[in-house]
Chains A and B, each alone.
Chain A
């Protein structure tokens, strides 16, 4: 299949995965493995100094996966920029999944603060992958400041509700000059396939894998959904019609032909 290119780097997989909420590190590892993903997101948080837990990075092969730190938890541009800088100081490549979500109930991305943070981080040399509302006008602004992808939401984070924003994502894809990655809300392989059939360049999932009793099996299912969707996009879907159009010949029936 054709490769995904982001900021000059090529990827075989068009499925990015998050590492949150898995029941164990083993479950997370097995799920990531099953997806064949090459981009894996992580978050930054304060260490609980009374109970530091183990180092989750030891469960992710940094030679195999591009570690994509997110700025989750940031409520404004300043906090997001701070988190991105911390991730880079921790030794990550200067890639960041920019998330600014001041609203704790729906975790919707703040368009104003996201754009502001994107502009700062691009100037500091980051490859910025912004989580964003499915807003084609904002998409243009983000591209103008130099983000390397656009990452519109399908539905609010963790809801598994699918591509509720399909009509707007379609416009974003139509107008974009950088890869469009549908992020958030995709709960089933069919949702991922739908996004890919529409021409999305990639999708990102986390909850859909972590929420099931069989994350590795679901990981494989998403892999197939994404591949099927991409292939269908490349092949080109047939047109939809209002009336039936027979697939079988309309002659030679076993009955008298009417005149």
Chain B
């Protein structure tokens, strides 16, 4: 299935969960914050959410800034 992650098109296997995706990307859930289809996710309650075709996922982290 195709979906957009951070503004770019990606192809993932069907039924992949948030948790699985983060594991694949080697991102610990506590270092990022997610927005799925413009809704901010509560990480604790979202790890088992399955992603779907055409979803728009934003994976955000803190960086240095003034």
Scan residues 1-56 of chain B and give those whose CB is less than 8 A from a CB of chain A.
5-7, 25-28, 30-33, 35, 40-43
Q: Are B60 and A47 in contact (CB under 8 A)?
A: yes
Residue A116 interfacial (CB < 8 Å): no
- Take A85-B40, A86-B40, A90-B33 as given contacts and tell me if A47 and B27 are in contact as well, using a CB distance cutoff of 8 Å: yes
In the bound complex, how far is the Cα of B40 from the Cα of A160, in angstroms?
A: 37
Residues in A with CB closer than 8 Å to B59 are 46-47, 49
- What size tier do the contact residues of chain B reach? 20 to 34
B38 to chain A, nearest CB (A): 8
Q: 4 closest pairs, A vs B, by CB?
A: A43-B65, A18-B66, A206-B66, A90-B33
Residues in B with CB closer than 8 Å to A56 are 61-64
With A47-B27, A206-B66 known, 17 other A-B pairs at CB within 8 A are: A18-B64, A18-B66, A19-B65, A21-B64, A41-B66, A44-B60, A45-B60, A47-B32, A52-B27, A55-B61, A56-B63, A70-B66, A72-B66, A86-B35, A86-B60, A89-B33, A90-B32
Q: List 8 A-B contacts (CB under 8 A).
A: A19-B64, A47-B6, A47-B32, A52-B25, A52-B61, A86-B35, A86-B60, A90-B62
Residue A94 interfacial (CB < 8 Å): no
Residue A195 interfacial (CB < 8 Å): no
Residue A114 interfacial (CB < 8 Å): no
Number of A-B contacts (CB under 8 A): 95
In the bound complex, how far is the Cα of B33 from the Cα of A167, in angstroms?
A: 41
Q: Are A43 and B25 in contact (CB under 8 A)?
A: no
Which residue on chain B has the smallest CB distance to residue A57? Answer: B62
Residues in A with CB closer than 8 Å to B43 are 89
In the bound complex, how far is the Cα of B7 from the Cα of A184, in angstroms?
A: 30
Scan residues 81-107 of chain A and give those whose CB is less than 8 A from a CB of chain B.
82, 85-87, 89-91
**Residue from the list A41, A82, A184 in contact with B65, Cβ < 8 A:** A41
- Take A46-B6, A52-B25 as given contacts and tell me if A90 and B60 are in contact as well, using a CB distance cutoff of 8 Å: yes
Q: Are B64 and A52 in contact (CB under 8 A)?
A: no
Residue A228 interfacial (CB < 8 Å): no
Q: Are B66 and A44 in contact (CB under 8 A)?
A: no
B22 to chain A, nearest CB (A): 10
Residues in B with CB closer than 8 Å to A89 are 33, 40-43
**Residue from the list B41, B58, B64, B66 in contact with A46, Cβ < 8 A:** B58
**Residue from the list A42, A86, A206 in contact with B63, Cβ < 8 A:** A42
Which residue on chain A has the smallest CB distance to residue B8? Answer: A49
